[in-house]
Amino acid sequence: MTIQLTSSPSSTAHTLVIPVQQTDELAHRLQTLADRFQLNAAVLQHDFKAEFKEALSLYQPDGKKIYLLGLGKQPTAIVWLRAFRDLFFRQKTRLTQTVAVDLSGFEPETIEAVLLGIRWGGYNLKLHVTDQAEPTDFYAEEGRLTIQVTDHQQLASEQALRRAEALADTHRQMLDLMNSPSNYKTPQTLADWAMASGQRHGYSVTVFDKAEMEERGLQALLSVNQGSAHPPVFIIAEYKPTDQPGAKKVGIVGKGITFDTGGISIKPSTNMHLMKSDMGGAAAVLGTMEVAAKLQLPVHLIGIVPSTENMVDGQATKPGDVIGSYLGKTIEVIDTDAEGRIILADGLGYMVRNFQPDVLIDLATLTGSVIATLGYHAAGLFSNNDELTAQLLQSARQTGEQLWPLPLWDEYKEDIKSDVADLKNFSGKPVAGAISAAKFLEVFTESHPAWAHMDIAGMAFADTEFGTQKNATGFGIRLLIDFLQHLNG
């Protein structure tokens, strides 16, 4: 599909999409549209209320089709994205090869959300179906999308289009990685993807194999890997802007568990098949690295992904074992299903010791506790820095990838005290699980003054229109890119 911007109504597109906001002026807006397309205004006003995701299809005498797409009362970026994603996904077999979207009455920033929604609407979740359907007319290579904007919006629109295209392709690849089953996705798969991306987009990628991890003392990651037939990897990606020698250095660390059985503390069988998603933090880090390099953002960005399976065999780490870590601290493993924080301990420790970033952020599908707290509408945010918290919350509001702050009070240190080691990986209590996990991670930041942890367990895999089970969202990429774009502002 090719995309072009224009300042005049498209005369060649056979399908036209017109987004409509639900305002006090709705009746007048519909009267204008009725006059434009020679429709009965009273009927249009009766049948269309511009509710969120409401779509009304209209046909012209020449066979051209018009969709009025409702945005609701206060359309934020995520509302725009979801409305267009829903329309284009549900109507993709009916879309003509040429489609136009009239955004001339809206701010150019909406283009990014609209295009992401349209691109996402063409996503194919059926990765391993043998009888694949042919691409629909619009989503085939010959498909054409025209976006109408006003003349004075042209430059800003071109910039928004560039950002959206950079995000959309990477986002799709992260969805594919997350949705892939574990027999198609091992830790080496993530490493191979990162290496190929770095070569394509001009950033460096180093991958430690198991022998090098042993040599460097990444004992926590190695301990989680003991029950797996697939060796672990430790991915280090680094992007440096060529013309910004004083750029801020940001370190991002993502949990890369490509399948999680729970280890010896094995999970119930119900929904265990969804544990192919336990590398949502890794997807956010890998995706952010690629998009930052594509857009040549003025930040020095380092991404670290410790990756392994958490499996069960005779060599697997047992509850009660005491293991080491890169920073030398010892960990009593109370629950082998609390493995994400263990591998992040080595990721965070390696980051602070070897790169000394100005800002340190980690993301992980870490706890069911955060889902019990926030449901499926926000990720938990933990930070020791009020300014960083405010910046991340602003990016969350801007992108619609919502965060909600939770406490990091020292009273919760009691939950990770061990009798036999420096700390334990699980409190054993049925309360405050997300908080005690964050307190565990805090130990391995070495008191970094600007650290944030995002528990994205409820957000990385969600119910969408693409399938009957939860599937990948790519949560965190858009949020982090927005944060990085405004970091030096």
Domain of 398 in residue numbering reads as 180-485
Structural domain includes residue 461: yes
Unique residue bearing structure tokens 């995706």: 287
Q: What is the CATH number of the domain that holds 36?
A: 3.40.220.10
Do 448 and 307 sit in the same domain of this protein? yes
Question: Apex CA 93: angle with CA 90 and CA 97, to 5°?
Answer: 120
Do 69 and 114 sit in the same domain of this protein? yes
Nearest to 438, CA basis, from 450, 426, 422: 426
Do 283 and 380 sit in the same domain of this protein? yes
* Residue 478 to residues 17, 47, 395, 399, 420, Cα–Cα distance (Å): 25, 35, 9, 7, 42
Feature table: binding site for Mn(2+) = 255, 260, 278, 337, 339
pLDDT at site 244:
82
Q: What is the CATH number of the domain that holds 191?
A: 3.40.630.10
Residue 303 three-state SS: strand
Q: Could you tell me what percent of the chain has a pLDDT over 70?
A: 100
Do 120 and 263 sit in the same domain of this protein? no
Residue 126 a catalytic site member: no
pLDDT at site 96:
95
Which tens digit of pLDDT belongs to each residue from 69-118?
999 999 999 999 999 999 999 999 999 999 999 999 898 889 999 999 99
Do 247 and 377 sit in the same domain of this protein? yes
Give the end of a domain, one of 134, 166, 198.
Answer: 166
Do 162 and 186 sit in the same domain of this protein? no
Give the end of a domain, one of 105, 138, 166.
Answer: 166
Report the domain count for the chain. Answer: 2
Structural domain includes residue 55: yes
Which tens digit of pLDDT belongs to each residue from 426-458?
999 999 999 999 999 999 999 999 999 999 999
Catalytic residue among 294, 341, 424, 439: 341
Structural domain includes residue 256: yes
Do 158 and 265 sit in the same domain of this protein? no
Structural domain includes residue 171: no
Do 146 and 259 sit in the same domain of this protein? no
Is beta strand 423-424 parallel, antiparallel or unpaired with respect to 331-332?
Answer: parallel
Structural domain includes residue 175: no
Structural domain includes residue 197: yes
Question: Tens of pLDDT along the chain (489 residues)?
Answer: 899 999 888 778 999 999 999 999 999 999 999 999 999 999 999 999 999 999 999 999 888 999 999 999 999 999 999 999 999 999 999 999 999 999 998 988 899 999 999 999 999 999 999 998 888 999 999 999 999 998 888 888 999 999 999 999 999 999 999 999 999 999 999 999 999 999 999 999 999 999 999 999 999 999 999 999 999 999 999 999 988 888 999 999 999 999 999 999 999 999 999 999 999 999 999 999 999 999 999 999 999 999 999 999 999 999 999 999 999 999 999 999 999 999 999 999 999 999 999 999 999 999 999 999 999 999 999 999 999 999 999 999 999 999 999 999 999 999 999 999 999 999 999 999 999 999 999 999 999 999 999 999 999 999 988 989 999 999 999 999 999 999 975
Question: To 10 degrees, the CA torsion angle through 308, 309, 310, 312?
Answer: -130
pLDDT at site 109:
85
Structural domain includes residue 172: no
Structural domain includes residue 235: yes
Do 194 and 114 sit in the same domain of this protein? no
Do 204 and 85 sit in the same domain of this protein? no
Do 147 and 265 sit in the same domain of this protein? no
Do 128 and 253 sit in the same domain of this protein? no
- Maximal CA-CA distance, the chain: 80
pLDDT at site 153:
85
Question: Apex CA 390: angle with CA 384 and CA 391, to 5°?
Answer: 105
Residue 267 a catalytic site member: yes
Catalytic residue among 53, 210, 267, 413: 267
Residue 323 three-state SS: strand
Give the end of a domain, one of 143, 166, 189.
Answer: 166
pLDDT at site 403:
98
pLDDT at site 489:
58
pLDDT at site 121:
95
